[in-house]
Every structure is written in structure tokens, then in C-alpha cells.
Structure 1
Amino acid sequence: MAIYDKNIRLMRIASFLKSKPKGASFKEILKHLEELYHKESFAKDVASSQKTFDRDKKLLMEMGIEIKFKRSTMTYQIINESFSENSQTIFDNILLINAYKQSENNSEIMIFEKRQASGLHNLEGLVFAIKNCKIITFNYTKHWEGVPHKKVLEPYALKEFKNRWYLLANEMDGKDFFIKTFGLDRISDLEISTKPFSKQQVDVNQMFVNSFGIISTLGQEPETIVLSFDCEQGKFVKSLPIHHSQKVLIDNNTEYRIELTLAPTYDFYQELLTHTGRMKIISPENVRVKYFELLNSAKS
């Protein structure tokens, strides 16, 4: 419970300072934490000393959130322009856990999706294998086949997409080194070997920097794609951006227009189809043509 409460405290400090662009004093931060303690009853260790708070700052720094003390105003400020994506995701999950705790497991207060993807029980083992460069084996069942196949792999990373987790790994029976994607919900009988492998220098983030989803577009030139949404749908796209490259071109009472820079894949077109009827593809023409091909094939 101590670790959980510490994470809640770190999240509360970061969220509070994020809401205070001009900074806040230690006294204001402490008062905020104490008020939340009385509301939510999380741990009493609410950074009641400067030493505890300094330790919290160091931990937040390790998460990519840098807090600086401004002596002229005697205030603390987050000097990052924004939370890193990873830090925000971690905090979002902590918020979810805390809300669930406050609901006292009442299924009528928090109603969860019933069709969750499985496979998360393998996460810890896969993280260990990746960190320690251990060869792994498992049975993998493709959805369209239904027959398990044994895989011997060199694991490199884990990637999340739409609440599903995927393993990025090199299949050892292949002739050339090639990172493939494996859905954790299709993995069974995971075994972690004591035998290590020599890790090759590969930037897995770069493999997906111009991608939407889990299809790597490494080596493909990204395209500039302009999409227009009606005002109501635009609010949804604004609150949950389609891609990290999203730039706003128009935002008014009639239109929300954005620009994306990515290499379009099947995953991306599937996303566009979810906005059918409330979106127009302004450019380029090849993306518009492909979109309508998929739309018409779904109707036939």
C-alpha cells in the first residue's frame, strides 16, 4: 500500500503544479495535499517535510517531470512544457486505480468494459526477458488460423495500442533480422530461457514514429494528410488526438481541421472509417481514394 500511496502523492504534486503555471509555494503544495487526504483518505505521508518533498521532486525528475525552485517568488514550477506521454499514461492509470479504490469496488459506480483483451499476465515475464536479453518461446495463435505455432524469439520491446499490448521481437528461425509484432492476447505457454542473445542496435521508437497503430513504417516517407471534421466530432478529436503529429489548422463553430504527418497503413484507414459521415479528407488524393475503396467494400 505504501508504494501505491507514494505514487498517488507524486501524481497529486505534479497535477497541482501543472495547474499552476506561475508556480506554487511549498506551503500551498502541502495544503493541497492535506485537503486531498481529508477527501480521499490516502496515506498521511503527504510530504510534510522539505526533505520528503525534495525526495518527491527527485522521483518526478526520473519520470521526466522537472520541478525548479524560483527563489525570487519562493515558488516551485514545472519547467517542462508538458508531461511526457509515458508519465501521463502512468498517472492516468494511477488515477483509475484511485477512483476504483474510492468506489469501494462498487460495480454500479464504475462500469468497466466486459470485453477486455487478455495476455497481460505475461507482461512481467516479458519485461524481464527484454531487460536481461533472454530468448523466449511461446505458442502463438493467429486469429484467422486458430492453430497455435511455436515461436522462438529475441524480445526487444512492448508496445500498447488501443488498450492492447504487443511484443516486438525477432523470430530466430528467420534468415534475416526482422522485428515482428505479436499480440499478447494470442500468446500462451510462455517460457523464458536462461540462454541470452546478443541485442542488435535498433531504435524501436523510430519504427513507429510515422505510424498509426502497430504496423511499422520504417523506411517509408510520411505524407501530409489534412482532415476536416464537423464541430461536434472535432471536439472528440481535439480531446483524443488521432496521432502525435496532429496540428490544428481550423477550429471554429463549424469546422475542426487538422494536419497529420504519417505513413498511412491499414490501421490508419480503420481509424478514418470510425469517423465516416462526420469527416472529409481534404488531401492528399491517394488517401481519399483508398478510404473510399475500403468504405465501398464494406457496403458491398
Structure 2
Amino acid sequence: MSKKESINRYNIIVNYIRKRPSTFKEIQDKLALESELQDYDFNISKRTFQRDLKDISSIFNIDIKYDFSLKKYYIDFEEEPDVKGRVLEAFDIFNALNVSDRLSDHIHFENRKPQGTEHLYGLLHAIKNQMLIRFNHQKFWEDHVTERQVGPYALKEFKNRWYVIAKDRKDGLTKSFGLDRLSDLEITKAKFEKPLDFSVNTHFKYCFGVVGPNAKSPEKIVLSFTPFQGKYIKTLPLHHTQEVLIDNEEEFRISLQLYITHDFFMELRSFGDDVEVMQPEQLRKRMTLNAEEVFNMYD
């Protein structure tokens, strides 16, 4: 049996069970049907199926469990739903790329610089074992490269980029470093102590993006969007604190509880004239000044 055939079989099993809990007989019937449709032999015994479940768990980190009362197999989404969702998303992409014979004819990739994901495994190891790391880092707004030694706390994703949240040994501040901006990563043998009260979820609870808290407390922000733009904001909220205040044919208005960081200001700018800042007044004035600067640029 070829590796490609095995991977295709794993794909069928996972996608079938994720839709509904299934008995082994139902899974067998599905594999038999796909064998006829795809001209492969996906038929397996109960023993091979159990081995497949171990392979799926080991290779893809997708745990398929058995409900003895229902006598059905299922994927548990209740434990760490966000992580499980991303694992299944990565599984879908992997299989889509794996089955395509000539990718250039079927998939158009975004032309961009690699995201630094090759560092993820090493960084996770350092985070779990509280090991200091050393790397070269280059900011977007600076030409020179600096060497950093930091104690890594966590990894964070924002707008398809990955960042390591770490305490900089130079000034003792907690910062975010883009993985695509670092090179020559070295995991040292030196240990560091992570603060017992640090939680990446708590640290960024009222933040938009990867810029950490820049004030004593978050502010209430009220934004008014055009009805058309509001459709997107409803389906993809700006933040978990988002509350809808007005939703009609003339306006879509929301409130947020956030620190006003550079990341959030740049997000507001990206909406152009589809958004109006209602409050706070300081942010409204900042947006007005920026609009005047843009207007003068083209005047």
C-alpha cells in the first residue's frame, strides 16, 4: 500500500467522522464507496483501522475517540476548540496540497516572504522548558540588525504572522518579535523564570494585535460603519469585546473595550471612509488629523 493511498484514507476517515459520529461499519461503507469512486483500495480491517487512528493522532495530532454507549467514533471539539479547529484546518490544507499533481495549475499562492514558521517547533521547546533564546532581529523601520537575548513566554498569531512574546533581557520589557524578522535562532542551555502570574490571554485581553497594553486601563471605543462594511464586521468581529449598538439600513454601530495601540489605529485607517470614530474624542481627533494629512498629500 502506497503512502499516498494511506494519507488519502486518513483524509476520508477524518472528514467523515468530523461531520458526524460514526460506527466502524459506517466508516467501512464510506471507505468502500470511495474505493470505487477514486479507483483505490481503501478497504481495511478493524485492526488496520485501529492502527490508522494511532497514525492520525501521531502525525496530525487529531484524536479520534470511541463512545462506548453509542458505539461510535468521534472527534472531541470541546477540549481546546480553537486549537482543534486550526489543526483540522492545517489537515485540510495539507491534504489539498498533497493530492494535487501540478499545484501551479490549480492553486495560486500569495507571493510573500516566508513567515518564519520553521522556528515554531524550537520556540515551543524553549517556552515549555523556560530556556533563554538568542537571535538576530530587524525591525521594519530600521536598517540595522540587533542581537537579542530573551526569555520566551508564548507564541501569538496576528494577521497571518507569528510572533514570540518574550521578556527582553536588555531592558526587562515584555515585547513581541515577528518570526519573519528574526534569524540565526539559538536555543541556549541557560534557564529563566517565567512570572507565575503571566498569561498571554490576560496580557492581550484588551489589545488589538501584538502591541501590548500602553495605558493603565482599556477605553470604551464606539465606531460607526456603513451598512455594507457592517456585514463584514458582523461576520468577522474586530475583537471579542465587540457589542452591536445599532444595526439598520443606515448604520452599523459597535462598541469595543480596548487599549488604543498602533495596531488598532492602523486597522481603523484601513477602513477609510467606511468608518467614523464616535468616541473617545482623543481617537476621533487623531483620525481627523490623519485624514487631513492624507488630503493635503493629494491636494
Do both share a fold (TM > 0.5)? Answer: yes
Task: Tell me the distance in 2 between the aligned counterparts of 1:41 and 1:261.
Answer: 55
**Which residue is equivalent to 2:200?**
204
**Which residue is equivalent to 2:238?**
242
Larger Cα-atom Rg? 2
Residues 219, 40 of structure 1: alpha-carbon distance in 2 compared, 3 angstrom cutoff: farther
By how many angstroms is 1:64 displaced?
11
Q: Find the residue that maps to 1:153 and give its secondary structure.
A: strand
Task: Tell me the distance in 2 between the aligned counterparts of 1:275 and 1:180.
Answer: 27
Contact residue 136 and residue 154 of structure 1 kept, 8 A: yes
Task: Tell me the distance in 2 between the aligned counterparts of 1:268 and 1:41.
Answer: 52
**Which residue is equivalent to 1:12?**
15
Q: How does 1:154-169 map to 2 (within 5 A)?
A: 154-169=151-166
By how many angstroms is 1:208 displaced?
0.6
Does residue 188 of the first structure (1) align with residue 183 of the second (2)?
A: yes
Q: Find the residue that maps to 1:96 and give its secondary structure.
A: helix
By how many angstroms is 1:79 displaced?
8.7
Residues 46, 255 of structure 1: alpha-carbon distance in 2 compared, 3 angstrom cutoff: farther
1:23-54 CA-to-partner distances (Å, cap 9, x unmatched) read: x55366766676677767999489968x859x
Task: Tell me the distance in 2 between the aligned counterparts of 1:29 and 1:256.
Answer: 46
Task: Tell me the distance in 2 between the aligned counterparts of 1:7 and 1:287.
Answer: 51
**Which residue is equivalent to 1:21?**
none
What TM-score comes out, normalization by structure 2 length? 0.75
Q: How does 1:49-198 map to 2 (within 5 A)?
A: 52=50, 84-174=81-171, 177-198=172-193
Task: Tell me the distance in 1 between the aligned counterparts of 2:267 and 2:191.
Answer: 39
Counterpart of 2:129, as a letter, is N
Residues 79, 265 of structure 1: alpha-carbon distance in 2 compared, 3 angstrom cutoff: same
Provide the aligned length of Structure 1 versus Structure 2: 289
Unaligned runs of 5+ in 2: none
1:56-98 CA-to-partner distances (Å, cap 9, x unmatched) read: 9xx6xxx899989696x88888897897333222222222222
**Which residue is equivalent to 1:293?**
289
**Which residue is equivalent to 2:258?**
262
Contact residue 12 and residue 33 of structure 1 kept, 8 A: no
What TM-score comes out, normalization by structure 1 length? 0.75
Q: Percent of counterpart pairs with the same letter?
A: 33
Residues 78, 101 of structure 1: alpha-carbon distance in 2 compared, 3 angstrom cutoff: closer
Task: Tell me the distance in 1 between the aligned counterparts of 2:270 and 2:249.
Answer: 22
Task: Tell me the distance in 1 between the aligned counterparts of 2:287 and 2:191.
Answer: 45
Task: Tell me the distance in 2 between the aligned counterparts of 1:172 and 1:40.
Answer: 57
Counterpart of 2:184, as a letter, is D
1:259-298 CA-to-partner distances (Å, cap 9, x unmatched) read: 3222221111111111112223343333322222233333
